[in-house]
Amino acid sequence: MDQQNNFDMASEGVATPAEDTSFGDILSRFEQERRAGGENQALDGTVVAVTPEAVFVDIGRKMDGVLASADLGKTPGGAELKIGDKLQVMVTGRDSSGNYNLSLIVVERPKDWSSLEQAFASQAVIAATVTEAVKGGLRVDVGVPAFLPASRTATRDAVEMEKLVGQEIQVKIIELNTAEENVVVDRRVVLQEEERQAKEQAFQTLEEGAVVHGTVKTLMDFGAFIDVGGFDGLLHVADMAWHRVSKPSDMLKAGDQLDVRILKINRGTRKISLGLKQLLPDPWSLVADRYKVGDRVRGTVSRTTDFGAFVELEPGVEGLIHVSELSWSKKQRKPSEIVQPGETVEVVVLGVNQGDKRISLGLKQALGDPWEHALEKFPVGAMAEGPIVSLQKFGAFMKLAEGVEGMIHIGDISQEKRLEHPNEMLKLGQVVKAEVLEVDRERRRIRLGMKQLEPTSADEYIAGHHPGEVVNGRVVESSPVRLKVELGEGVYAHCRLQAEEKSETKARREKLDLSSMTAMLSAHWKLGSNPDQPGQEQARNGQIRSFRILSLDPAQKKIEVELAR
């Protein structure tokens, strides 16, 4: 298959055998063919066959050209065509057999000065024959002698310019003085126009989705400009890789050769958007199979924001740990205080949305819920120690463990005085001890008390006395069955009379005889006391009496006494 056919197939998005051929190479060959007489350009040909249906012309390529039906059998002068005739033709396309479709072209050669003036006014392209090389340029024949300056020959040196002698070229008249018969022509402007047309046609062959070869020209903060055969396309940093790229220079440098895919073409503005990552499979296409809700996975923290931390699970796949899923603590902390970019973490998959390319992750779930063992670690009655982490008007919050806090109500802070605000006795960060008063696992609440750990007058009294000891006390409350007795400041005991009455009555009945009955009646009338408590006056409020200690309970701070006989 020849080069032109390769170009045609490439322009239609068909892969050619030379997969690594760059678009620049194709364009270069295309322009060379145009200069040599490609499509829409004048091309010298020789008739090699004449049939009633077609005239075949050798145009110097692998495949012959076929003249259009309108031109069959005619020379520019109108004569019948025959084998060996020399023609100037133009390629207009290709037929199903691969032959080039041709049409005859005639580049006008002015015949008189009037024709020259018309060509000059319309800036028409005319034919010229190079007759000789002269100082400063070439002498050409455009019907009359004309001068082609060296700077307008579109050649690089004198040797190349000499090769034009004897050739027919195409030019435009740039100066015309009929009075002095002076004509100056320009070949370069014609070739530039041909090149512009070739480049425009090549641009039109670019198709979205096609893969082209290019060269990195310039790196910017937002991407890289890639030369794809004479056209600059933008490879945005977001389209360089499926994973996050901080800056283009991390992946590319000027001069790098690479294949890219054309993502979008704006033919009006001639802007081309390119993609590099699109040449590789999208890692998100496999996310639903690789990550299930509840899975424990490891990843690297790529960045932190105010609302959470992003974790790269694999190149091109990131998940978000929302700030609320970073810690069990009720106090919301900044993500940057918990994790840092570059840190490897273990997380739990909370949700997967493949369509929106989102994965929700949880860090605290991977660490375990500290409340699962809260009842075991902090049972009611246990003593806990920790820092104060928050002060509110109604109380203070104390950290018991990571993610577990207890609340000390303002009324449970001190026994000595009534507080208006916890900050009167506590401050943030202060380490204190408190007793666990209540645990609510479902509501995740633990109530603590500090004053419960303070030694009281009752604690000191109980520590200094023992059961059986006889002590003095003042009756502060009395009833037929019970007395409340103050043994000291803030120390109270209970004396149960009914129990004593029943016990003593039973004993008296067992030992009752006439003499004891007589003694009891005598004591009653003599002392006027309670017949159930012979020999003692009935207890009254404010009365100081002797009592025998029956029991001391340090845990409950309770003291039981009885009236001493």
pLDDT tens digits, one per residue of 444-471:
889 999 888 877 778 888 888 999 999 9
Instruction: Give the three-class secondary structure for 39.
Output: strand
CATH label of the domain that carries residue 468: 2.40.50.140
Tell me, what's the pLDDT at 404? 86
- Write phi, then psi, for 244 (nearest 5 degrees): -75, 130
Q: Is residue 402 part of a domain?
A: yes
Q: Give the chain's domain count.
A: 5
Tell me, what's the pLDDT at 69? 59
Q: Is residue 175 part of a domain?
A: yes
Instruction: Give the three-class secondary structure for 562.
Output: strand
Instruction: Give the three-class secondary structure for 168.
Output: strand
Q: Within this chain, do residues 98 and 57 fall inside the same structural domain, yes or no?
A: yes
Q: Is 511 or 234 the better-scoring residue by pLDDT?
A: 234
Token readout for 461 is: 């009294």
Tell me, what's the pLDDT at 498? 61
> Which value, in Å, is the radius of gyration of the alpha carbons in the chain?
54
* Positions of E strands within 323-451: 344-353, 358-362, 383-392, 395-401, 404-409, 431-440, 445-449
pLDDT digits (tens, 9 = 90+) for 191-226: 988 888 878 877 888 888 889 899 999 999 999 999
Tell me, what's the pLDDT at 146? 93
- Write phi, then psi, for 24 (nearest 5 degrees): -65, -40
Average pLDDT over residues 545-563: 89
Tell me, what's the pLDDT at 147? 95
- How far apart CA 348 and CA 103 sit, in angstroms, is 73
Average pLDDT over residues 136-147: 92
Element (H, E) at 159: helix 158-162
Query: Is 90 exceeded by the pLDDT of residue 499?
Result: no
Q: Is residue 232 part of a domain?
A: no
- How far apart CA 43 and CA 466 sit, in angstroms, is 130
Q: Within this chain, do residues 503 and 521 fall inside the same structural domain, yes or no?
A: yes
Task: Check: CB of residue 81 under 8 Å from CB of residue 75.
Answer: yes
Q: What confidence tier does 330 reach under pLDDT thresholds 50, 70, 90? A: low
Q: At what angle do helices 23-35 and 188-205 cross, to 10 degrees?
A: 140
Q: Is residue 433 part of a domain?
A: yes
Tell me, what's the pLDDT at 288? 85
Question: Which structural domain, as residue segments, surrounds residue 425?
Answer: 370-453
Tell me, what's the pLDDT at 36? 45
Q: Within this chain, do residues 463 and 549 fall inside the same structural domain, yes or no?
A: yes
Token readout for 143 is: 């019907």
- How far apart CA 66 and CA 454 sit, in angstroms, is 114
Q: What confidence tier does 7 reach under pLDDT thresholds 50, 70, 90? A: very low
Q: Within this chain, do residues 329 and 384 fall inside the same structural domain, yes or no?
A: no
Q: Is residue 209 part of a domain?
A: no
Indicate the residue among 104, 123, 139 that finishes a domain: 104
Instruction: Give the three-class secondary structure for 236.
Output: strand
Q: Within this chain, do residues 444 and 473 fall inside the same structural domain, yes or no?
A: no
Query: Is 70 exceeded by the pLDDT of residue 64?
Result: yes
Tell me, what's the pLDDT at 86? 78
Average pLDDT over residues 261-270: 89
- How far apart CA 21 and CA 14 sit, in angstroms, is 13
Query: Is 50 exceeded by the pLDDT of residue 531?
Result: no
Q: Within this chain, do residues 30 and 44 fall inside the same structural domain, yes or no?
A: yes
pLDDT digits (tens, 9 = 90+) for 234-263: 999 999 988 888 889 888 999 999 999 999
Q: Within this chain, do residues 470 and 525 fall inside the same structural domain, yes or no?
A: yes
Q: Within this chain, do residues 332 and 398 fall inside the same structural domain, yes or no?
A: no
Tell me, what's the pLDDT at 112? 74
Query: Is 90 exceeded by the pLDDT of residue 85?
Result: no
Q: Within this chain, do residues 70 and 86 fall inside the same structural domain, yes or no?
A: yes
The length of the chain, given as a count of residues = 565
Q: Is residue 500 part of a domain?
A: yes
Tell me, what's the pLDDT at 83? 86
Average pLDDT over residues 54-82: 72
Q: Is residue 296 part of a domain?
A: yes
Indicate the residue among 62, 87, 104 that finishes a domain: 104
Q: Where are the alpha helices (DSSP H) in 437-534?
A: 457-464, 497-511, 514-527
Chain mean pLDDT for the chain: 80
Q: HEC string of 202-215?
A: HHHHCCCCCEEEEE
Q: Within this chain, do residues 556 and 475 fall inside the same structural domain, yes or no?
A: yes
Q: Is residue 186 part of a domain?
A: yes
Q: Within this chain, do residues 138 and 51 fall inside the same structural domain, yes or no?
A: no
- How far apart CA 150 and CA 177 sit, in angstroms, is 20
Q: Within this chain, do residues 42 and 80 fall inside the same structural domain, yes or no?
A: yes
Indicate the residue among 178, 194, 210 that finishes a domain: 194
Question: In whole angstroms, how far apart are CA 214 and each of 131, 220, 221, 241, 250?
Answer: 43, 17, 20, 17, 18
Instruction: Give the three-class secondary structure for 10.
Output: helix
